[in-house]
Amino acid sequence: MADENDPNQPGDDPQAETPKEGDGATPPVEGAASDALPPSEPSPEVSDPLEETSPIIEADAEEPAPPEEPPAPAELALPEELAAEEPTPDALIHPSPEVSDPLEETSPIIEADAEEPAPPEEPPAPAELALPEELAAEEPTPDALIHEELFEHPEAVDPPPPEELPPIPDDLPIAARDAEPEAIASEPAPVQPPAKTSDELPAQYFRAAGDPEEAQDEPPATLLGRIQERIATTARDARTVLEPKWVAFYGAARAFGGEMWNRLRGIKRPRNVREAAVWSGWAAAGGVALIVAFFFFITWDLPSTDDVWEATGSQSITFLDRNGHVILREGAQNAPPVDLASLPPYVAQAFVAIEDRRFYDHFGVDVGGMMRAGAENLRAGRVVQGGSTITQQLAKNLFLTNDRTWRRKFQEIAMAIWLEGRFTKDEILALYLSRVYFGAGAYGIEAAAERYFDRPARELTLLQAAMIAGLVKAPSRLNPARQDIAAARDRASVVLDEMVNMGFISAAEREAALQQELTISRRNPAGVLSYYRDWIDPLLNDVIGQQRDDFVVETTIDIAAQRAGDEAINGVLTEQGEARRVSQAALVAMDDEGGVRALVGGRDYDQSQFNRATQARRQPGSSFKYFIYLAAMENGLTPWSVREDAPITIYIDGQPPWTPGNYTNEFHGPTELTRAYALSYNMVAIRVANEVGGQNVIDVARRLGVRSPLANYHSLALGAQEITLMEMTQAYGAMASEGYNLEAHGITRIRRASSNETVWAFRQANRHRVIEERPLRYMNYMMRRVVDAGTGAAARISGRQVGGKTGTGNDYRDAWFIGYVPGLVAGVWAGNDNFTETGRVTGGSLPTEIWARFMPTALRNTPVRALELPREEDYDTGVTDPESPELTAVGAPIGAVIGAPQPAPPDNEDRSLDFGPEG
């Protein structure tokens, strides 16, 4: 069967002979031209009632019956209302849209209701149209005359066959069915749009009912294509959102500009001398106002210039130790002016040659130099040359900031002119050399000479003076103490060339200077405080920042203890480090309030700035047992509780059986916890950790200040998870402070030097007891046994009760000792940065020896106090020892029975160091 939607079927071809219903007026009949209006002048008030219904009826009828020949319609008579109204000439040509087709709204209803429309009735044959008398008597318009002239001989044109009118359904309103057919014949033919070709038809126009929809465009297969499509979509959406706003803004701006231009154009010129004088007065007043406003704009917030030597143009920081002694200075603290007469002449000449060649000729501002620098910068497209004179640089260093703004530049120019009017050229140059920054924390020529060459400025050579003068352009980038010295030497060569060009030195002197050796001092100005200075630097940046003032920082450092710690580390490593394959060590000491007394982050700061005391996370080994035994003491065990030191195997659902190794194959059977802790028996620690629960152990560590990640793994009891030395020392500090928590800090107060105003002060947020009295006494007892008769015996100090714990990491990679007395705690770590094995170094060897060398100096001002040890009533407390100890799996609830150890399968592999040695 042929597809009824096929466009090529014969049934879809348009009827060439019969126009569609409602598409045009009924063709005129011969002989009616003289009685009716021309076809171009239809009645404006009558519309075709079948204009909308005929397409709908045609679409619904699948096979409509062929219409019969309609009889000739009778003459149409206009309604009385229309006949009484005199139409205008325009109305004769253009039909009024006010009269709507009564069938336009009903035809959709007919289409929806009529499944099989009845065959149309034969309409009467149309007759000659009769116009109303008013229209017939009216003089035709020119357009009508032209139309009539074209049809003077209608007989020469074959008229088209009469149009077959569509049937009128029975269910139409009575008024619509009773309408005269003559009114229909008088409706003008609307212009039909050209038929669309198949290329112009909408998508899926020929899709039959039930056919699947055509496939849409697939998204790009590649990621790049999808990204490009997403970018294009985002751009279109952004354009859609922004375009209306831009159009509105552009329109408003254009309207505003046009209005202002029109107003300006509307201003009339002065017509006489009086008006010209008034105009001149207003112009002069406006100029004066601008000058005054510009003056206030420039000088509004300038600092006082009463005493230029008291002007604080840079930042200086003075560090005091805990006893009030100055231990470090940074920045220029109102340095005195340089005595130019005491310096070699080439020192000042080097600065003039490279920084301001016309220094002795200008009035503070070199206009030509500024124009030349501006041209060079425009040519390069970036700032490659500066136009500031030495006087301008001094003004900026004394009074202004480094902001790159036009206002700051104008202020700089104003202050430079003021300086030139008050001081001589030599005084300005001397003041400049005392305040300019040379990098590495050195302000002034004297500080720079000491920093880079370990000599005063009066002893500088020509090459050294040229190098220092070259640092002013980029002190941080050209700093020879941190960067390659080649860059600073090249810059010095440029300075010497400029000095030759200006006649300050000869070419021979230049060549002689370049032949000299340029040796840079590597001495660190902070010395032994370098690691400590880096540690507190974030706090100083937050509190002080870039404020241009003199500050005093009161630290917690004991400078004697700091030097003692540095000497102890370097001494022990120098003596034993190479033989024991240990290259680094670190030390932290703090008082019972958390104040850091000493901090040594490594062996040599100049070789490595990595702070091993605060940044390195290493395995604490058996020193982590402090948290395990403290959790046990808090859960009812005592130092005299007995646990079995024997091989064990732990079974946990979903994990393979775990049989930890031991340092030796020796096991000691039933053992008191004090002995097991002092000699660092691993098997007992594992049993206790599983008995109290791994999560309880982690909770104790968190309560004491450990913030490094800790997981409830099998190896938690052996200290296989990494922690920093600062965290471990702070946690042990709770023992030195008699049970109270510590918050490590290195600064107590920051104040301004001039007004003594406190800018920042340390206050511990929440100091409270974290270890109860009885568990504290138990732990003091066991910690003291470690030093008196255990693995930490090397840490004994005559006349002091010392507690502590050793620790050795897996495969001897880390060695620890943390010891304390009432009021002071110190921790030491030793190992290698690359995690290589040491020469079987344990916590009881090198770390304990370093601790013992450091502590006598650190304790010189700490009063002797005894440790809080168990009392008589503490010996009869605690839970009863189980007859047959049972283990609790890590992470399982307390009391989950593991069972007796099962015999392990034969294993020839040496696993003695799987979890590190004891201690």
169-198 pLDDT, tens digit per residue, is: 555 444 444 444 444 444 444 555 554 444
Asked whether residue 403 carries a pLDDT value surpassing 80, the answer given is no
**Would residue 48 count as lying in a domain?**
no
Residue 573 structural domain? 313-332+524-618+724-753+806-873
Provide, rounded to the nearest whole percent, the portion of the chain with pLDDT above 90: 38
Residue tagged 């020892």 (tokens) = 881
∠ at Cα 382 (380, 388), nearest 5°? Answer: 105
Note whether 464 and 599 are same-domain residues: no
Picking from 492, 519, 546, the residue at the C-terminal end of a domain is 519
Rounded distance between C-alpha atoms, residue 442 and residue 77, angstroms = 113
Partners of 760 in beta bridges: 750
Compute CA distances 579 → 41, 523, 583, 829, 837, whole Å: 121, 28, 10, 17, 13
Question: Would you place residue 912 in the very low, low, confident or very high pLDDT band (cuts 50, 70, 90)?
Answer: very low
Q: What is the mean pLDDT of the chain?
A: 75
Q: What is the pLDDT of residues 375-388, one digit of tens each?
A: 777 777 766 666 78
Residue 848's pLDDT is 97
∠ at Cα 11 (6, 12), nearest 5°? Answer: 60
499 vs 178 pLDDT, higher one: 499
Note whether 508 and 568 are same-domain residues: no
Picking from 494, 519, 544, the residue at the C-terminal end of a domain is 519
Partners of 761 in beta bridges: 749
Q: Mapping DSSP to helix (H, G, I), strand (E, B) and coil, where does residue 769 land?
A: strand
**Would residue 562 count as lying in a domain?**
yes
Which alpha helices (DSSP H) does 131-170 contain, by range?
133-137, 142-150
Q: What is the pLDDT of residues 476-497, one digit of tens each?
A: 777 777 666 788 889 899 999 9
- pTM score of the predicted model: 0.56
Partners of 618 in beta bridges: 723
Rounded distance between C-alpha atoms, residue 668 and residue 684, angstroms = 10
Six-digit token pair at 97? 């849209």
167-171, 453-457, 689-693, range with the lowest pLDDT: 167-171
Note whether 445 and 594 are same-domain residues: no
Q: Dihedrals φ, ψ of 611, to 5°?
A: -90, 105
Rounded distance between C-alpha atoms, residue 583 and residue 289, angstroms = 73
Rounded distance between C-alpha atoms, residue 168 and residue 178, angstroms = 10
593 vs 550 pLDDT, higher one: 593
Q: How many domains is the chain built from?
A: 2
Picking from 519, 546, 562, the residue at the C-terminal end of a domain is 519
b/e map of 516-554 (b: 16 or more CB within 10 Å)? eebebeeebbbebbbbbbbbbeebbeeebeeebbbbbbb
Residue 153's pLDDT is 47
Residue 781's pLDDT is 97
Note whether 499 and 576 are same-domain residues: no
**Would residue 704 count as lying in a domain?**
no
Rounded distance between C-alpha atoms, residue 709 and residue 124, angstroms = 101
Note whether 512 and 578 are same-domain residues: no
**Would residue 582 count as lying in a domain?**
yes
Residue 500's pLDDT is 95
Residue type, 215: A
Note whether 356 and 386 are same-domain residues: yes
- Are the CB atoms for 69 and 121 separated by under 8 Å? no
Residue tagged 């008030």 (tokens) = 45
∠ at Cα 481 (475, 482), nearest 5°? Answer: 80
DSSP 680-738: T-HHHHHHHHHHH-HHHHHHHHHHTT--S-----GGGGGT-S-EEHHHHHHHHHHHHTT
Residue 109's pLDDT is 37
Note whether 508 and 533 are same-domain residues: no
Residue 838's pLDDT is 95
Q: Mapping DSSP to helix (H, G, I), strand (E, B) and coil, where does residue 540 land?
A: helix
Note whether 488 and 554 are same-domain residues: no
Question: Would you place residue 168 in the very low, low, confident or very high pLDDT band (cuts 50, 70, 90)?
Answer: low
Note whether 357 and 494 are same-domain residues: yes
Question: Would you place residue 642 in the very low, low, confident or very high pLDDT band (cuts 50, 70, 90)?
Answer: very high
Residue 434's pLDDT is 83
117-121, 285-289, 768-772, 797-801, range with the lowest pLDDT: 117-121
Residue 158's pLDDT is 52
Residue 73's pLDDT is 40
Residue 402's pLDDT is 64
Residue 6's pLDDT is 45
The secondary element (H helix, E strand) that includes residue 761 is strand 758-761
Note whether 532 and 603 are same-domain residues: yes
Question: Would you place residue 452 in the very low, low, confident or very high pLDDT band (cuts 50, 70, 90)?
Answer: confident
Question: Would you place residue 730 in the very low, low, confident or very high pLDDT band (cuts 50, 70, 90)?
Answer: very high
Sequence-ordered list of residues with C-beta below 8 angstroms from that of 395, at least 6 positions apart, any chain: 412, 415, 416, 418, 419
Note whether 845 and 861 are same-domain residues: yes
**CATH code of the domain covering residue 506:** 1.10.3810.10
Rounded distance between C-alpha atoms, residue 74 and residue 575, angstroms = 134
How much is the average pLDDT of 710-732?
92
How much is the average pLDDT of 106-117?
40
Provide, rounded to the nearest whole percent, the portion of the chain with pLDDT above 70: 66
Q: What is the pLDDT of residues 277-303, one digit of tens each?
A: 888 888 899 888 888 887 777 666 666
Q: What is the pLDDT of residues 67-94, one digit of tens each?
A: 444 444 434 344 444 344 444 444 434 4
Sequence-ordered list of residues with C-beta below 8 angstroms from that of 797, at least 6 positions apart, any chain: 821, 852, 855, 856, 859
Burial of 618 (0-12, 13-18, 19+ CB in 10 A): buried
- Are the CB atoms for 548 and 747 separated by under 8 Å? no
**Would residue 769 count as lying in a domain?**
no
**CATH code of the domain covering residue 852:** 3.40.710.10
**Would residue 668 count as lying in a domain?**
no
**Would residue 538 count as lying in a domain?**
yes
Question: Would you place residue 868 in the very low, low, confident or very high pLDDT band (cuts 50, 70, 90)?
Answer: very high
Q: Dihedrals φ, ψ of 36, to 5°?
A: -120, 165
- Are the CB atoms for 665 and 657 separated by under 8 Å? no
Residue 334's pLDDT is 55
∠ at Cα 116 (115, 118), nearest 5°? Answer: 135
Q: What is the pLDDT of residues 576-599, one digit of tens each?
A: 999 999 999 999 999 999 999 999
**Would residue 793 count as lying in a domain?**
no
Note whether 501 and 533 are same-domain residues: no
State the DSSP code for 204.
T
